[in-house]
Structure 1
Amino acid sequence: MSRRVAFSTFLLLFVLIQVGAQHLLAQPAPDSARIRLRTVTFDPLAGEPAIPATRRAVASESSRGAYLVQFRGPVQEVWKAAVQQLGGQLYGYVPDDAFIARLDGATAEQVRALPFVRWVGPYHPAYRLAPELAAASVEAGKIVTVTVQTFPDADLDTLAARVAEWGGTVEGQGANPAAGYVRVALPSDRLNDLTSQDDVLWVEPYFQPVALNDVGGGTIMRANQVRATLGLFGAGQIVAVADTGLDVGTTGAAMSDDFEGRIVQGQALCALSGLRNAWSDLNGHGTHVSGSVLGNGTYSTSHPATHDYTNSFAGVAPEAQLVIQSIDSNGDPSLECIPADIDTSLFTPAYNLGARIHSNSWGGPTGGTQQNPQYGGYTTDSQQADAAMWQHRDLLLLFAAGNSGIDANADGAVDLDSLGSPGTAKNVVTVGASENVRPELPGTWGQSFQGFSAEPIASDLLADNPSGMAAFSSRGPTDDGRIKPDVVAPGTWIISARSHDPNAGTGWRVYNQDYVYMGGTSMATPLTAGAVSLVREWLVRIKNISDPTAALMKAVLLGGAADMSPGQYGNGSKQEVPAARPNNVTGWGRVDLMESLSPPAPRQIWFVDNTTGLATGGTAVYTLTVGTPLAQSAEQAGIGRTARTAGARVTPSPSVLLPAATASPARLLATPALPPEGQPLRSVPAAQPAAPTGP
């Protein structure tokens, strides 16, 4: 919503709907439906695209292969069941109203005859290769590193052996209930052979992720007030951080006192790839972000025994516990040890240790090349993140939006469309960076970063206005039209814990032997993860919800976000933050814990964590009775979505019911007429449009 209205009784309605929506666009009529892939969009009833014979699938009556099955409108569960009863298997969703399926030729004919099936056709090898890999600019014979997605029951060892025969190497593999994944490096002239394998569904370039580099959390996000008024410190919460490691990598006395005694487990994920079997922090990034989440500030002025963290460098949730997952082998910004399947090898192990919040300050481009990267796409990593949250409904993943913001045309306004992956995922909280307040520290955007030569950005200090954005913070939208980031938090001149490993870096500047300054959406993300820890503690301890869903945690967080419009450059042609919310600069705004958890009277918070969910076409109705008239009511919908197929494309419709990402505030319902006092205000429907779920 673009403004707040003071009511005698303010109801912030969180309608949490756990459904398997692939997307929330109004469904096209059957005669206008399309198959929307990243490689091509076409109406199959008007004919398939021209494909060379060598790139087409050959159908067989007896052998099973990959097909596309398109239904006649929003997909019903009984329709999917009918296909499966005939022997077909449905996998990833493809807009509009279609699924990738595994069928043999005879079954394909039977499925084609079903009255609710619009079209059945082969899923050709030509559809399975990302356009940038199919381009003529890819040098023949050049070794390229790619991520391969397969059917979930594919024999990955056999595929790996085939890659070796072609002169390639396998860098990692894994599988979850949705798909199998293999990361391989092979000659580019073997890519067509790779996509011709029956079990291969999608091949995209792999970009090695990089790390996306006090006042911020305690004052601007108002964690200090939440601690003082609600007694929330993160106690009982376990947060996982996947990053470069933690301090000296031990749970013993040598560990930094800011963390000692609260480490559930340290994991050296590089050991899975035969690399470094230690979780010490050779870079310094992981220690800093962990400190922002839950460092207790012992080396500054805090007194944890008395819950006193005032004026210290404690993180937002200083009494939470930590699972640290080291994904760095050599201390440079590139992260060599991201698993091929981040669902089963990264998120699930942390979940099994009790973590219900997972903070990730890393990411990369979504397409293009290293020289000309592209952003905003829905990648395999994005899909895996969504799949993880679909499998674990009470696990909230947070990802940095990226540091790719730039004013490329030097018009004095930061450009849109720079969002990195996995921050393009639907269900995760994607975090951008706002400015901190440390005007005494040096540097302007024009002096410190390339791409900001024009005013008013060039001469603006890096940390002098909490209502301003960090210029480097990546902006949305996603390529399929969703609004991102979800929220922002301070990300410039952030002071936090320093790694005591002798080889560790020192970030932007050294504060002392125990703390350093750093900046980036990397720093905004753990501050937000700490805020989510306090949200979850509030839900569990104060609201008596024993196992809150990720959708509820996200909705509560976003519901209190502070409106930053117009930003720090006024309302003119250089306006930094749009007036409407959500928007592709700040999302719903800057994290504000007091507004999320304890808004000033007479406002109140009312929410429902609907864990049973709705099927396609279902509704849930909530009727509220208020004592005095309201001017408006707000509905916040949290939609738990299954992951879309990575090779699929969603084209925005002009009629969008719920344009925001999962669990984002969806629409403002104005009340045209006020009822008499004591009468029901209105019935607020939580209507769910077409919601095809994964099989």
Structure 2
Amino acid sequence: MVIPHRNEGDFSLRKKWIAALSATIMLSLAAGQYQAGAKHYGERKGDLEIEASEELSLKAQAKRSGQTSLYVIRFEGPIQQEWKDEVESFGIKLGDYLPDYSFVAKLPDRGDLRKVKRLDFVKDIVPFYPVSKVAPQLRKSLGTNREVEVAVVGFDKRVDMRRTVSRIAKDELSGDVEPLKIAKHISVARISGQGLEEVIQSEDVIAVLPVSKRKLHNDRAADIIKADELERTGYTGRGQIIGIADSGLDRGDAEDIHPDLAGQVLSLYAIGRKGDASDLDGHGTHVTASALGTGKASRGRYQGTAPEAKLVFHSMMNEEGELVGDPREIMSQAYEDGARIHSNSWGADDFGDYGLDSYLFDQFLWEHKDMTALVAAGNAGYEGYETIGSPATAKNVIAVGATENDRPRIGGEEADDPDAVADFSSRGPTIDGRLKPDLVAPGSYILSARSLVPDEDAYLQVLDDEYAYNSGTSMATPLLAGGVAQIRQFLREDLDYDDPSAALIKAMLISGADDLDEDMRMQGFGRANLRAAIETDFVDEKEGLLTGEGATYTVEVKDRSKPLAITLAWTDHPPSLAANRALVNDLNLTVTAPDGQTYNGNDFFRYPYDDEVDNLNNVEQVWIPEPDWGTYTVRVKAHNIPHGPQPYAIATSGKITREAQGSHVLKGSLETDRSVNRSDWHTIEAKSEGRLRVNTTWRGGATLSLTLYDDSGMPIAVVSKLKKGKTIALPLPDAGTYQIKIQLDKGYDTTYRMEVNYPDE
């Protein structure tokens, strides 16, 4: 769906937003005054590989003999739904997807191997041995007496793994096996290396990985400066609900709480210490007020970025100071209470690894594509690149790094360059090469509400009884979460768009971001700029694409004074925890400039910019520092969609005019009942003679036919058996009106998608 929001009727509505933000771009209202529009016009910086070789991507591969009923079936290329259907017709169960073009499969009868191998679209079948299930960090523990805390992941997502683990390793367990409530195929246990070796022999187990220790992502080693007051903006998060999970919330009582949070709390859950949601650390109160504090205790001087938003809060800290709780359960409760934004200023310093928490975030967000989750990148930046932690390594979250504040008189070198990424901010890429963090926002020396439960040592510095300073990516994350509330309010109130996808929010923020001329492994796509984000034009495509399908749009550029950013983002299917690469559904972005030059998404670093195709990231961008005037053609191609269809969003600093001239997508459904809808009709208007090119895809193994009629109703071309995904060319003898009839001839009910191209100008 294209949302046109640059017409004259929208101008006056947008003016109030722009005026309110004119002095406070890039969240400067929350962390000091920033130089507006500080965009650098050089090339993107970084050293990133975006094109991984096509190989079987397992965390651990083994050459070991033995009997097993688990195999990896490798297909010849991008996954077609009918291939999966045919393999499963043998009674074979397909489990997790593995890059590239593979599935873990359970074969009830090894005799089926020969039948499957004879299928022309099957490239190879290899055993999936037990050692391939173990994360590399656990390998040294196998067979020893050393205890490790692990997550055991089952093959079947409907099966509770607690019984399996308890039965197999009952003498090697320390304590109870705890299943995750909303992901019962995953159980957490403390187990000896001997028991671990027994667990991985089970055909019901697909992966075992370590459980990382979570920590709060504030940086208490930095010096203190006084942050600027948090000013009001034209949009204040009205009508939005933000979920936050953290250490606790002030005294733990919504009726007896810090003045800045009074009346803000819709729900307060105590999951760390049952019945006690108080903030023993002070961290949770600070980050919450940065997002939605009203500033009441300071007469409005120190307020959050969305002071009219409401709150659903989960207190995670237990008696030992540990952060506990299942992210899926936390976000599910927040979602049920109305939250569509979730802010998380915690994680593990596991140096780029895709851990259990990353998987749980991705799984929930795949199932709830309208929830935007933000996660602090971490504060291990002093140790260099590949220091970003889980769950910021999740594909579907917005991972937030931190920039410096602008307070050199107090902070010295640590606060004298607002265009610099803070030294403590964790860097990317992830272990599998993905670009993280996604964005950066102010994170140094943020002044916000303090909890009176801990003593003053909990903060970098205390201002008074109500406010204190802290720094870290923890502080950057809630500021941007409040910004997301502002954007969602803008979409609802100014554009009457109530249900934006998280992919759209991410694409808008990334296309609107200010490039800081830093290495992209430090800054991601840049520093958040709310005004530029709401000025983007966008498409929020919720029906999605299957393998081989595509869509084309045109973007007009009339202003050469700023870079052209075109961003494609999608909420991806969660990966297998046995896989070495996280991307599952692979969309590709291609942009053709008015002069004919082609750009591929994320191909920033090695000229020419059309020789690498990203198969690692679920965000792709084309960024042209000095664009030419004219029309750019934007193409989205579904290269490989094992779990489809795949929705997506596009946001651009240009103007989306419509689907590209001559290129249109026609969709519909066909049913076996002749009295209902066995055929569909579509009308096209050709502006001149030429050819009609049609590429049709559909679900399942149905047989479809296509007939082209002229304006008198006479058939001029008939295709009795369409080939899925293959382009056919049909003659258009003259300009005029034509009708396309598509019909279901054999098979079951199906939905189809036709991409048609013809002369229409």
Q: TM-score, normalised by structure 2?
A: 0.69
User: Which runs of 5 or more residues in structure 1 are unaligned?
Assistant: 1-23, 41-48, 60-64, 303-311, 367-374, 408-414, 443-459, 566-576, 599-604, 676-680
Counterpart in the other structure of 2:340: 356
Counterpart in the other structure of 1:280: 278
Cα 1:648–1:461 shift into 2, 3 Å: same
Counterpart in the other structure of 1:542: 494
Counterpart in the other structure of 2:251: 248
Counterpart in the other structure of 2:290: 292
Q: 1:659, CA displacement in angstroms?
A: 6.7
Is the Cα–Cα contact under 8 Å of residues 153 and 161 in structure 2 kept in the other structure? no
Separation in structure 2 between the aligned mates of residue 554 and residue 467 of structure 1, nearest angstrom: 21
Q: 1:511, CA displacement in angstroms?
A: 1.1
Counterpart in the other structure of 2:527: 590
Deviates more, 1:111-120 or 1:357-366: 111-120
Cα 1:668–1:618 shift into 2, 3 Å: farther
Separation in structure 2 between the aligned mates of residue 298 and residue 327 of structure 1, nearest angstrom: 26
Counterpart in the other structure of 1:318: 307
Count of equivalent residues: 564
Separation in structure 2 between the aligned mates of residue 656 and residue 691 of structure 1, nearest angstrom: 19
Is the Cα–Cα contact under 8 Å of residues 491 and 520 in structure 1 kept in the other structure? yes
Provide the secondary structure at the position in 2 that maps to 1:522: helix
Separation in structure 2 between the aligned mates of residue 595 and residue 217 of structure 1, nearest angstrom: 24
Task: Report the AA paired with residue 550 of structure 2.
Answer: T
Deviation digits for residues 228-269 of structure 1 (CA, Å, limit 9, x no counterpart): 4xx2000111110011111111221x1122112121101112
Separation in structure 1 between the aligned mates of residue 471 and residue 410 of structure 2, nearest angstrom: 13
1:134 correspondence with 2:110: no
Counterpart in the other structure of 2:588: none
Cα 1:203–1:263 shift into 2, 3 Å: same
Give runs of aligned pairs for residues 657-676 of structure 1, distance below 5 A.
657-658=613-614, 661-662=617-618, 664-668=619-623
Counterpart in the other structure of 2:638: 688
Cα 1:331–1:492 shift into 2, 3 Å: farther
Task: Report the AA paired with residue 314 of structure 1.
Answer: Q
Separation in structure 2 between the aligned mates of residue 666 and residue 146 of structure 1, nearest angstrom: 37
Cα 1:329–1:362 shift into 2, 3 Å: same
Separation in structure 2 between the aligned mates of residue 193 and residue 396 of structure 1, nearest angstrom: 39
Counterpart in the other structure of 2:386: 417
Give runs of aligned pairs for residues 613-628 of structure 1, distance below 5 A.
613-624=544-555
Cα 1:387–1:622 shift into 2, 3 Å: same
Counterpart in the other structure of 1:259: 261
Cα 1:382–1:627 shift into 2, 3 Å: closer
Cα 1:505–1:613 shift into 2, 3 Å: farther
Cα 1:182–1:656 shift into 2, 3 Å: farther
Q: 72, 75, 79: which is aligned to 1:75? A: 79
Deviation digits for residues 639-668 of structure 1 (CA, Å, limit 9, x no counterpart): 221111122113999964347843x45123
Counterpart in the other structure of 2:171: 165
Task: Report the AA paired with residue 693 of structure 1.
Answer: H
Q: 190, 201, 221: which is aligned to 2:206? A: 201
Is the Cα–Cα contact under 8 Å of residues 495 and 518 in structure 1 kept in the other structure? yes
Counterpart in the other structure of 1:39: 60
Give runs of aligned pairs for residues 368-517 of structure 1, distance below 5 A.
375-406=351-382, 415-441=384-410, 461-501=413-453, 506-517=458-469
Separation in structure 1 between the aligned mates of residue 371 and residue 241 of structure 2, nearest angstrom: 11
Separation in structure 1 between the aligned mates of residue 574 and residue 216 of structure 2, nearest angstrom: 25
Q: 103, 110, 127: which is aligned to 2:107? A: 103
Q: 1:468, CA displacement in angstroms?
A: 1.7
Is the Cα–Cα contact under 8 Å of residues 486 and 661 in structure 1 kept in the other structure? no
Task: Report the AA paired with residue 666 of structure 1.
Answer: Q
Deviation digits for residues 452-505 of structure 1 (CA, Å, limit 9, x no counterpart): xxxxxxxx6322221122111110011111111100111121111111325686
Provide the secondary structure at the position in 2 that maps to 1:347: helix
User: Which runs of 5 or more residues in structure 2 are unaligned?
Assistant: 1-48, 219-223, 584-602, 646-761
Separation in structure 2 between the aligned mates of residue 513 and residue 682 of structure 1, nearest angstrom: 56
Q: 1:286, CA displacement in angstroms?
A: 0.6
Separation in structure 2 between the aligned mates of residue 364 and residue 250 of structure 1, nearest angstrom: 29
Provide the secondary structure at the position in 2 that maps to 1:192: helix
Provide the secondary structure at the position in 2 that maps to 1:247: coil
RMSD between superposed Cα atoms in Å: 3.0
Q: Percent identity?
A: 34
Separation in structure 2 between the aligned mates of residue 211 and residue 188 of structure 1, nearest angstrom: 30
Cα 1:541–1:561 shift into 2, 3 Å: same
Higher relative contact order (CA 8 A, sep 6+): 1
Provide the secondary structure at the position in 1 that maps to 2:103: strand
Counterpart in the other structure of 1:346: 330
Q: 1:181, CA displacement in angstroms?
A: 1.1
Q: 1:633, CA displacement in angstroms?
A: 4.9
Separation in structure 2 between the aligned mates of residue 210 and residue 546 of structure 1, nearest angstrom: 35
Deviation digits for residues 291-315 of structure 1 (CA, Å, limit 9, x no counterpart): 111111111121xxxxxxxxx1111
Separation in structure 2 between the aligned mates of residue 614 and residue 513 of structure 1, nearest angstrom: 55
Separation in structure 2 between the aligned mates of residue 422 and residue 462 of structure 1, nearest angstrom: 27
Counterpart in the other structure of 1:85: 89
Q: 1:167, CA displacement in angstroms?
A: 3.3
Q: 1:26, CA displacement in angstroms?
A: 6.1
Is the Cα–Cα contact under 8 Å of residues 617 and 690 in structure 1 kept in the other structure? yes
Deviation digits for residues 182-225 of structure 1 (CA, Å, limit 9, x no counterpart): 11111122211111122111111112201111999988xxx85x
Is the Cα–Cα contact under 8 Å of residues 433 and 616 in structure 2 kept in the other structure? no
Separation in structure 2 between the aligned mates of residue 437 and residue 629 of structure 1, nearest angstrom: 30
Separation in structure 2 between the aligned mates of residue 80 and residue 27 of structure 1, nearest angstrom: 24
Q: 1:168, CA displacement in angstroms?
A: 2.7
Separation in structure 1 between the aligned mates of residue 539 and residue 307 of structure 2, nearest angstrom: 29
Separation in structure 1 between the aligned mates of residue 102 and residue 148 of structure 2, nearest angstrom: 31
Separation in structure 2 between the aligned mates of residue 690 and residue 217 of structure 1, nearest angstrom: 47
Provide the secondary structure at the position in 2 that maps to 1:441: helix
Counterpart in the other structure of 2:568: 637
Is the Cα–Cα contact under 8 Å of residues 153 and 180 in structure 1 kept in the other structure? yes
Separation in structure 2 between the aligned mates of residue 398 and residue 329 of structure 1, nearest angstrom: 23
Is the Cα–Cα contact under 8 Å of residues 551 and 637 in structure 2 kept in the other structure? yes
Deviates more, 1:194-203 or 1:236-245: 194-203
Deviation digits for residues 139-194 of structure 1 (CA, Å, limit 9, x no counterpart): 931221112111312332313423433233236312657x7111111112221111
Task: Report the AA paired with residue 685 of structure 1.
Answer: R
Is the Cα–Cα contact under 8 Å of residues 154 and 180 in structure 1 kept in the other structure? yes
Larger radius of gyration: 2
Task: Report the AA paired with residue 244 of structure 1.
Answer: S
Q: 1:128, CA displacement in angstroms?
A: 0.6
Q: 1:84, CA displacement in angstroms?
A: 2.4
Separation in structure 1 between the aligned mates of residue 158 and residue 488 of structure 2, nearest angstrom: 36
Deviation digits for residues 362-421 of structure 1 (CA, Å, limit 9, x no counterpart): 11133xxxxxxxx112222212211111100101111111111125xxxxxxx2111101
Counterpart in the other structure of 1:329: 318
Provide the secondary structure at the position in 2 that maps to 1:485: coil
1:646 correspondence with 2:644: no
Counterpart in the other structure of 2:70: 66
Provide the secondary structure at the position in 2 that maps to 1:35: coil
Is the Cα–Cα contact under 8 Å of residues 488 and 590 in structure 1 kept in the other structure? yes
Separation in structure 2 between the aligned mates of residue 109 and residue 659 of structure 1, nearest angstrom: 32
Is the Cα–Cα contact under 8 Å of residues 288 and 497 in structure 1 kept in the other structure? yes
1:520 correspondence with 2:472: yes
Separation in structure 2 between the aligned mates of residue 318 and residue 285 of structure 1, nearest angstrom: 19
1:559 correspondence with 2:500: no
Cα 1:285–1:670 shift into 2, 3 Å: closer
Task: Report the AA paired with residue 63 of structure 2.
Answer: A
Cα 1:217–1:90 shift into 2, 3 Å: farther
1:174 correspondence with 2:185: no
Q: 1:86, CA displacement in angstroms?
A: 2.5
Q: TM-score, normalised by structure 1?
A: 0.75
Cα 1:268–1:103 shift into 2, 3 Å: farther
